[in-house]
Amino acid sequence: MSQHYGYDAGKKKTQSYQIIRKYRDMKHHKGSGKSIIATARKMSTVIYTMLKNKEPFDELKMAYVTEYKEIQAAVFDVALAEDKSA
């Protein structure tokens, strides 16, 4: 059995993205067809906003909301610690 190393690694990486979790939750309630359309629309909105604002892709923004807030809090704490030591 041959596996593509990059494909499997990327697939595991995206499983924690907020949009993927919402898709899985919606799939149980509305079915896969409507869930795919809603997810594609959300992805196109994200891509349009990135292109419009000339922003690079930020993985942290795609993280699940609680994980993103924890990351932001940790960065803020580090910044405060650096300000106090300066």
Euclidean distance between CA atoms 33 and 48, whole angstroms: 23
The number of distinct structural domains making up the chain is 1
Euclidean distance between CA atoms 75 and 1, whole angstroms: 42
Residue-range definition of the domain harbouring residue 80: 9-85
Residue 78 lies in a domain: yes
Residue 1 lies in a domain: no
**Under 8 Å between Cβ of 63 and 71:** yes
Please give the full DSSP string across 12-44, using - where no structure is assigned: HHHTTBHHHHHHHHHHHHH-HHHHHHHHHHHHH
Residue 74 lies in a domain: yes
Residue 75 lies in a domain: yes
Residue 2 lies in a domain: no
Residue 28 lies in a domain: yes
Residue 21 lies in a domain: yes
One pLDDT digit (tens) per residue for the chain, 86 residues: 444 444 455 556 666 677 888 888 888 888 889 999 998 998 899 899 999 999 998 877 777 666 666 766 777 777 767 666 66
